[in-house]
A and B are shown apart, each in its own frame.
Chain A
Amino acid sequence: MLEIKDLHVSVDGNEILKGINLSVGTGEVHAIMGPNGSGKSTLSYILSGKDGYDVTAGSVTYEGKDLLEMETDERACEGIFLAFQYPVEIPGVNNTYFLKAAVNAKRKYQGLEELDAMGFMKLMKEKMPIVEMKQDLLTRSVNVGFSGGEKKRNEIFQMAVLEPKLALLDETDSGLDIDALRIVANGVNSLRNEERSMVVVTHYQRLLDYIEPDFVHVLSDGKIIKSGDKSLALELEDKGYSWLDKSA
Chain B
Amino acid sequence: MSQANQELHELAKKEYEHGFVTDIESDTLPPGLDEDTVRAISARKKEPQWMLDWRLEAFAKWQEMTPPKWPYLDLPEIDFQSISYYSAPKKPEDGPKSLDEVDPKLIETYNKLGIPLEEQKLLAGVTEATDVAVDAVFDSVSVKTTYSERLAEDGIIFCSLSEAIHDHPDLIKQYMASVVPVTDNFFAALNCAVFTDGSFVYIPKGVRCPMELSTYFRINAQNTGQFERTLIIAEEGSYVSYLEGCTAPQRDENQLHAAVVELVAMKDAEIKYSTVQNWYPGDETGKGGIYNFVTKRAECRGDNSKVSWTQVETGSAITWKYPSCVLKGDNSTGEFYSVALSSLSQQADTGTKMIHLGKNTSSTIVAKGVSAMKGQNAYRGLVHIGKSADGARNYTQCDSLLLGDTCGAHTFPYMEVKNPTAQVEHEATTSKIGDDQLFYCQQRGISEEDAVSMIVNGFCKEVFKELPMEFAVEAQKLLSVSLEGAVG
Contacts and interface: CB of A to CB of B under 8 A. Distances in A.
Interface of A: 48-52, 71-73, 75-77, 81-82, 84, 87-93, 98-99, 101-102, 105-106, 109, 141, 158, 162
Nearest to B447: A73
A76 B442 contact: yes
A48 B461 contact: no
A90 B443 contact: no
B442 A101 contact: no
Contacts of A87: 440
Contacts of B442: 49, 71-73, 76
Interface residues on B, range: 20 to 34
Contacts of B447: 73, 105
Given A51-B439, A92-B460, A98 B454 contact: yes
Contact of B445 (A76, A88, A93): A76
A106 B434 contact: no
A66 B441 CA distance: 22
A92 B443 contact: no
Contact of A162 (B441, B445, B457): B445
A203 B176 CA distance: 73
11 contacts: A50-B439, A51-B439, A73-B442, A73-B446, A76-B444, A90-B458, A92-B458, A93-B458, A98-B441, A101-B446, A162-B444
Q: Which 4 residue pairs are nearest across A and B when measured between Cβ atoms?
A: A92-B458, A93-B458, A102-B444, A76-B445
B446 A88 contact: no
A210 B446 CA distance: 31
Contacts of B437: 88-90
B57 interface: no
B446 A93 contact: no
Contact of A48 (B443, B448, B454): B443
Interface in B433-479: 434-437, 439-448, 450, 454-455, 457-462
A102 B442 CA distance: 9
Contacts of B434: 88
Interface string B404-447: 00000000000000000000000000000011110111111111
Nearest to B449: A73
Contacts of B435: 51-52
Contacts of A52: 435
Interface string B143-183: 00000000000000000000000000000000000000000
A162 B445 CA distance: 10
Given A88-B434, A92-B457, A101-B450, A72 B440 contact: no
Contacts of A82: 443
Contacts of B461: 92
A88 B459 contact: no
Interface string B117-158: 000000000000000000000000000000000000000000
B443 A105 contact: no
Contacts of A88: 434, 436-437, 439-440
Contacts of A73: 442-443, 445-448
Nearest to B368: A92
A72 B450 CA distance: 13
Given A51-B435, A72-B439, A90-B441, A102 B446 contact: yes
Contacts of A71: 442
Contacts of B436: 88
A141 B479 CA distance: 20
A77 B454 contact: no
Contact of A72 (B443, B454, B458, B462): B443
Contact of A92 (B440, B446, B448, B459): B459
A219 to B, nearest CB: 21
Nearest to A105: B445
